[in-house]
Amino acid sequence: MKLRLDLLEHLTAEDIRKAAEKSVHRFKPELNFSKAGAGSLSSASIEERAKEVEHSMELTRKLEKRARRSGKVSSRKH
Protein backbone atom coordinates (compact mmCIF):
# COMPACT_ATOMS: atom_id res chain seq x y z
CA MET A 1 0.00 0.00 0.00
CA LYS A 2 1.38 3.39 -0.99
CA LEU A 3 1.08 6.52 1.10
CA ARG A 4 -1.01 9.06 -0.79
CA LEU A 5 0.52 12.37 0.30
CA ASP A 6 -1.46 14.18 -2.40
CA LEU A 7 -4.67 13.44 -0.44
CA LEU A 8 -3.52 14.70 2.96
CA GLU A 9 -5.02 18.16 2.48
CA HIS A 10 -8.45 16.52 2.27
CA LEU A 11 -8.04 14.61 5.55
CA THR A 12 -10.17 15.96 8.40
CA ALA A 13 -9.88 15.77 12.18
CA GLU A 14 -13.00 13.58 12.11
CA ASP A 15 -11.24 11.07 9.82
CA ILE A 16 -8.31 10.90 12.24
CA ARG A 17 -10.61 10.56 15.28
CA LYS A 18 -12.47 7.63 13.71
CA ALA A 19 -9.21 5.84 12.87
CA ALA A 20 -7.93 6.33 16.42
CA GLU A 21 -11.16 5.01 17.93
CA LYS A 22 -10.84 1.82 15.90
CA SER A 23 -7.41 1.01 17.34
CA VAL A 24 -7.68 2.34 20.92
CA HIS A 25 -8.77 -1.08 22.24
CA ARG A 26 -5.26 -2.37 21.43
CA PHE A 27 -3.46 0.23 23.57
CA LYS A 28 -2.00 -1.07 26.83
CA PRO A 29 -1.29 1.85 29.20
CA GLU A 30 1.06 -0.08 31.51
CA LEU A 31 4.66 0.92 31.90
CA ASN A 32 6.99 -0.16 29.13
CA PHE A 33 10.78 -0.23 29.57
CA SER A 34 10.44 1.46 32.98
CA LYS A 35 9.32 4.79 31.53
CA ALA A 36 6.46 6.50 33.32
CA GLY A 37 3.50 7.32 31.14
CA ALA A 38 4.51 5.03 28.30
CA GLY A 39 2.45 2.15 27.01
CA SER A 40 2.40 -0.24 24.15
CA LEU A 41 0.16 -1.30 21.31
CA SER A 42 -0.73 -4.98 21.24
CA SER A 43 -0.41 -6.92 18.02
CA ALA A 44 -3.38 -6.96 15.69
CA SER A 45 -5.03 -10.19 14.67
CA ILE A 46 -5.31 -11.22 11.02
CA GLU A 47 -8.95 -10.11 11.09
CA GLU A 48 -8.01 -6.71 12.54
CA ARG A 49 -5.33 -6.24 9.87
CA ALA A 50 -7.88 -7.06 7.15
CA LYS A 51 -10.27 -4.47 8.65
CA GLU A 52 -7.44 -1.91 8.74
CA VAL A 53 -6.70 -2.48 5.05
CA GLU A 54 -10.40 -2.21 4.22
CA HIS A 55 -10.68 1.02 6.24
CA SER A 56 -7.59 2.44 4.53
CA MET A 57 -9.00 1.71 1.08
CA GLU A 58 -12.35 3.21 2.08
CA LEU A 59 -10.66 6.34 3.42
CA THR A 60 -8.58 6.68 0.23
CA ARG A 61 -11.74 6.50 -1.90
CA LYS A 62 -13.42 9.09 0.34
CA LEU A 63 -10.43 11.45 0.08
CA GLU A 64 -10.25 11.00 -3.70
CA LYS A 65 -13.93 11.93 -3.90
CA ARG A 66 -13.31 15.05 -1.77
CA ALA A 67 -10.40 15.99 -4.03
CA ARG A 68 -12.54 15.66 -7.18
CA ARG A 69 -15.35 17.66 -5.55
CA SER A 70 -12.94 20.47 -4.62
CA GLY A 71 -11.69 20.58 -8.22
CA LYS A 72 -8.10 19.83 -7.26
CA VAL A 73 -6.38 17.48 -9.67
CA SER A 74 -4.27 14.78 -8.02
CA SER A 75 -0.54 14.97 -8.62
CA ARG A 76 -0.39 11.18 -8.39
CA LYS A 77 1.28 9.50 -11.33
CA HIS A 78 -0.27 6.27 -12.60
pLDDT for the residue 35: 58
The answer to whether residues 20 and 28 touch, using CB atoms and an 8 Å cutoff, is no
Number of domains, the chain: 1
What is the extent of the structural domain holding 49? 43-70
Q: Is residue 49 part of a domain?
A: yes
Q: Is residue 66 part of a domain?
A: yes
Return the axis-axis angle of helices 13-23 and 46-70, rounded to nearest 10°: 180
Does residue 78 have a pLDDT over 50?
no
Range 2-9 average pLDDT: 82
pLDDT for the residue 14: 94
Q: What is the pLDDT of residues 13-71, one digit of tens each?
A: 999 988 888 878 777 766 655 555 666 777 888 998 898 889 889 999 999 999 999 88
Q: Which of 13, 5, 3, 10 is nearest to 64 (CA)?
A: 10
Q: Is residue 57 part of a domain?
A: yes
